[in-house]
Amino acid sequence: MSDGALSQEEIDSLLAGLDGGSPGGPAPAPKQGGGSSAVSPQEAQAFKAVLDATVGAQSQNLSMITGLPVTLQAPAVDGTSRDGFLRDVPEEVLAVNVPFSGSLPGEHVFVMSKETALKIASLANKDEGLAELDDMAISAVQECISTLAGTQITVISERTGNRNIQAGVAEGGFGPKAMARVPSGDMFRAIYKMQIGEGEPDRLVELFALSFVKDLLASTGGPAPAQQQQQQRQQAQGGYGGPMGQMGQMGGFGGGQQQPMGMPMGQMAYGQQQMGFGQQPMGMPMGGFGMNPPNVQPVQFASLQMQQASPESGNIGLIMDVFMEMTVELGRTRKPIKEILGMGEGTIIELDKLAGEPVDILVNHKLIAKGEVVVIDENFGVRVTEIVSPMERMSDLG
């Protein structure tokens, strides 16, 4: 039976709620020394370098979506836990999950305040009267976040050479911060300062699963896990059986004996095995070596069997830099030759599209998506609103 005292877990929960920050402004910066012990400063700095390479393209993408100049500053990167995350965000947040999949899977979440989400949604939807985060507003923010995640994958693929990294479907949810879906356990956190137009700066928080970042850094040559670092040290010290100043045990070399590197070649004592073939050393005199003639035997090769290559074995990365023609089609119509020959200046041609109906986006004359026409500065553009399914593409070919 309880004596009325609060448990440590209840105390931590209350403190997290008190330090949640003001809902009306950017959340406070993370406290010094509050990072996760599972994330080293070297790992945080190496991962920051990866994210720094994306902020330029991210700013341009946000500018296109919102129609205003957007500056996304280089993030502050550290390690944190769920409790640390809860202490540094407002009471209500919009969390958009965009998990990574493929060869580098992992949880991945963008978190922002209600005010920041409403600002992005109102600018993307050209609706300044938004006051609540309804389904349409959340969908607009999800589209924005999907674009940001796509840019990150492009940069990561270029750094790692790994083209088998994908982002899942963005799923957003607004509510109390305690209900936000964030990576479990320790995680990497990136905090961006985002300036949209001339308004007050906003804060955007990005969370990555710990395993995803560590695998990423290992593949880019960054800080590696402790086990891999130990292997690297062993290779550096004993890859040839010992320190660089001496030759170690090398199967065929030395016959298990260790000889100093500085010893003249004519004085090195070879063992009974040569180069791992299990035969007598080569007999040609070399600097005073006394060697027997080699025992030459015919080499037996295993028979080769032809195997059919799997369709999935192709490397899509070989054609990633090939250009393809992309066309936006406003509409079509059919006219007899008589009317076509009779056209002149001022002739109005009626198309088969209704006003406001999505336009078609074609790649090499094949329909792949639909979108709506927007104006970017003085140029036309198209915001993608729908990706055509493979079944629809096949039906069009029929």
C-alpha 91/C-alpha 17 separation (Å) is 7
Residues 185, 67 share a domain:
yes
Band (93; pLDDT cuts 50, 70, 90): very high
- The pLDDT of residue 357: 87
- The pLDDT of residue 75: 95
DSSP one-letter string for 16-67: HHHTS--TTSPPPPPPTT-S-TTS-HHHHHHHHHHHHTTHHHHHHHHHHHHS
Choose the most confident range, by mean pLDDT, from 1-15, 150-164, 237-251: 150-164
Q: Does residue 294 lie in a domain region?
A: no
User: CB neighbours (10 Å) of residue 87?
Assistant: 23
Residues 329, 221 share a domain:
no
Band (107; pLDDT cuts 50, 70, 90): very high
Q: Does residue 87 lie in a domain region?
A: yes
Q: Does residue 313 lie in a domain region?
A: no
Which uninterrupted H or E stretch holds 92? strand 92-97
- In sequence order, what are the residues at sequence separation of 6 or more whose Cβ sits closer than 8 angstroms to the Cβ of residue 207? 85, 107, 108, 109, 110, 111, 182, 183, 187, 188, 189, 190
- The pLDDT of residue 11: 57
Residues 51, 196 share a domain:
yes
* CATH number reported for the structural domain that contains residue 28 in this entry: 3.40.1550.10
Q: Give per-residue pLDDT as tens, 265-314.
A: 444 444 444 444 444 444 444 444 445 666 666 766 666 655 554 444 45
Domain that holds residue 393: 323-343+350-397
Q: For 56, what's the count of Cα atoms within 13 Å in the CB-facing half-sphere? A: 4
pLDDT at 113 > cutoff 90: yes
Q: Does residue 111 lie in a domain region?
A: yes
Q: Give per-residue pLDDT as tens, 173-187.
A: 999 999 999 998 899
- The pLDDT of residue 249: 40
Mean pLDDT, all residues of the chain: 75
Q: What proportion of the chain, given as a percentage, has pLDDT over 70?
A: 65
Mean pLDDT of 52-75: 91
For residue 223, which phi and psi values (nearest 5 degrees)?
Answer: -55, 125
Q: Which one is predicted more confidently, 197 or 222?
A: 197
Number of domains in the chain: 2
The two three-digit tokens of residue 26, written as one number: 């950017």
Q: Give per-residue pLDDT as tens, 120-171.
A: 999 988 887 788 889 989 999 999 999 999 889 988 888 888 888 888 899 9
pLDDT at 372 > cutoff 80: yes
Q: Does residue 271 lie in a domain region?
A: no
Q: Give per-residue pLDDT as tens, 312-371.
A: 445 667 787 788 889 998 888 998 998 888 888 888 888 888 888 899 998 888 888 999
Sign, CA dihedral 387-389-395-398, equals positive
* CATH number reported for the structural domain that contains residue 381 in this entry: 2.30.330.10
Q: Does residue 269 lie in a domain region?
A: no
Residues 208, 83 share a domain:
yes
Of the residues 226, 245, 273, which one is the last residue of a structural domain? 226
C-alpha 384/C-alpha 55 separation (Å) is 22
Residues 329, 220 share a domain:
no
Residues 87, 208 share a domain:
yes
C-alpha 380/C-alpha 64 separation (Å) is 11
Q: What proportion of the chain, given as a percentage, has pLDDT over 90?
A: 29
Strand-pair partners of 328: 361
